[in-house]
Amino acid sequence: MPTHNGLSGAASGIGQSLHDVILVGTYQSQADREQAEIQLDELEELARTLQTRVLERDMVRLREPHPATLFGRGAVDRLATRIAELDSPGVLVNDELTPRQQRNLQEAWGTDVLDRTEVILAIFARRATSAEGRLQVEMAQLEHLLPRLAGGWSHLERQRGGVGLRGGPGETQIEVDRRLIRQKLKKLRLRVVQVQRSRATRRKARTGVPMASVALVGYTNAGKSTLLNALTHSHVLADNLLFATLDPTSRRLELPSGHSVILTDTVGFIQALPTELVDAFAATLEEVREAHLLAVIVDVSHPDACEQLSTVLETLTQMECDQPILLVASKCDLVDGVDIDDIVWELERTAGTGAIRISARAGDGLRALREAIDHLASEILPKESDAARR
Ligand SMILES: Nc1nc2c(ncn2[C@@H]2O[C@H](COP(=O)(O)OP(=O)(O)OP(=O)(O)O)[C@@H](O)[C@H]2O)c(=O)[nH]1
Ligand SMILES: [Mg+2]
């Protein structure tokens, strides 16, 4: 169906019509099977956030990725049979697929196949409500789609008719789509630059009064928004969903010393965050880059807490963030006293710094957290005000 921007349906949204799905994960050897299962759990969480029904999970041993189909012939055939038995649900693959692999698998299985990046893009598309969020998501989706139109998607070609903005005779739907996407991307980029500028202006206005800024960063679902709410008596959305938060929210946080800081809740990170999203969300992520202090929130009740922390630290390094870090072990109410020491010790070793233990839900540890922020902010602030005076 043609959409408002003249692009054919498949080009304007990813995974819009998925209801039932099966999940397919890969592992290389028995040794990494357990880790692969945990990653597939995450894909299942992503699928749940996307409101699809997971019928089945499948694990394929992959010694070497096949260039044409990712999986070997045997696995492709076996899955084709199972997909037909299940009445052709969509397939979510927990790996990156090249445009060619994706096309071939869709043909072989006769159904929609999404890779992990596309699942995340689809969630962002569903969850983006603000004008800024929608703008960034649209840009990320189109950037992702552009190279995928090159090989010709049969379902795009079928949609030649009915698109109001069709080109001259001989121009295929794919060519029209490609041309429209490029034009649209150009406009979106300009608007994203405008958003970036107005965010920078707002930040500057805030820093007119020297006030330290603290960004809450962490893996998605770590408890950042719940913590912002608990610390500042706010009511931003906190939910057991991945990427509940896409837009940053800033609140003033009063500290024991009487000083205040600006506390900002931000979009969560995830392992292998699609680069399209990192690029498109540059304006939003600028809030993290520009903060004086990063409070890194880690959900200690998650079986993969330590890997999640590593992912967050790596993402921050990629974003060239080198601010001081305050490590916050969150959801401590969910873990037994004995186990928690081991987990926190491991987190501290990974981050190279001590952790504050909290439960935003029970309100535990929040005073200690305020004091720690106070202490770190007081080290930052005098320098800032000196700079402002000069
Ligand atoms: N038991 C318990 N649950 C918590 C705690 N903090 C957060 N949660 C729950 O964890 C889930 C995720 O919390 P959010 O605050 O939305 O997490 P987030 O880091 O903002 O997540 P995204 O915005 O999706 O990246 C929600 O269901 C919260 O109620 C806590 O201290 N204890
Ligand atoms: Mg949140």
> In this predicted structure, which of 62-76, 107-121, 135-149 has the lowest mean pLDDT?
135-149
Read off the pLDDT band of 154 (50, 70, 90).
Answer: very low
Q: What is the pLDDT of residues 33-88, one digit of tens each?
A: 999 999 999 999 999 999 999 999 999 999 899 999 999 999 999 999 999 999 99
What gap in Å lies between CA 228 and CA 251, rounded to an integer?
Answer: 8
For residue 344, the CA-to-ligand 1 centroid distance in Å is 18
Q: What is the pLDDT of residues 182-199, one digit of tens each?
A: 999 999 989 888 888 888
Q: Which residues of 297-312 are buried (b: 16+ CB within 10 A; e: fewer)?
A: bbbbbbebbbbbbbbb
* Residues 141-170, mean pLDDT to the nearest whole number: 58
Q: Answer yes or no: is the C-beta of 244 below 6 A from any ligand 1 atom.
A: yes
Atom from ligand 1 closest to the CA of residue 220? 25
Read off the pLDDT band of 202 (50, 70, 90).
Answer: confident
Read off the pLDDT band of 16 (50, 70, 90).
Answer: low
H/E element, 135: helix 131-149
- What is the residue with the minimal CA distance to atom 32 of ligand 1? 331
Q: Which residues of 132-166 are buried (b: 16+ CB within 10 A; e: fewer)?
A: bbebbbbbbbbbbbbebbeeebeebeebeeebeee
Q: Which of 219, 225, 232, 269 to mutate to test the pocket of ligand 1 (most atoms within 8 A of CB)?
A: 225
- What is the residue with the minimal CA distance to atom 11 of ligand 1? 240
Read off the pLDDT band of 337 (50, 70, 90).
Answer: confident
In the chain, what are the domains? 18-111 (3.40.50), 130-190 (no CATH), 209-389 (3.40.50.300)
Read off the pLDDT band of 4 (50, 70, 90).
Answer: very low
Q: Can you give the pLDDT at residue 278? A: 85
386, pLDDT greater than 70: no
- What is the residue with the minimal CA distance to atom 25 of ligand 1? 220
Surrounding ion ligand 2 within 5 Å at CB are 224-225, 244-245
Angle separating helix axes 131-149 and 173-207, nearest 10 degrees:
150
Q: What is the pLDDT of residues 89-99, one digit of tens each?
A: 999 999 999 99
Q: Which residues of 335-356 are buried (b: 16+ CB within 10 A; e: fewer)?
A: beeeebeebbeebeebbeeebb
Mean pLDDT over the full length of the chain:
87
Which ligand is nearest the CA of 312, by number?
1
pTM of the model: 0.87
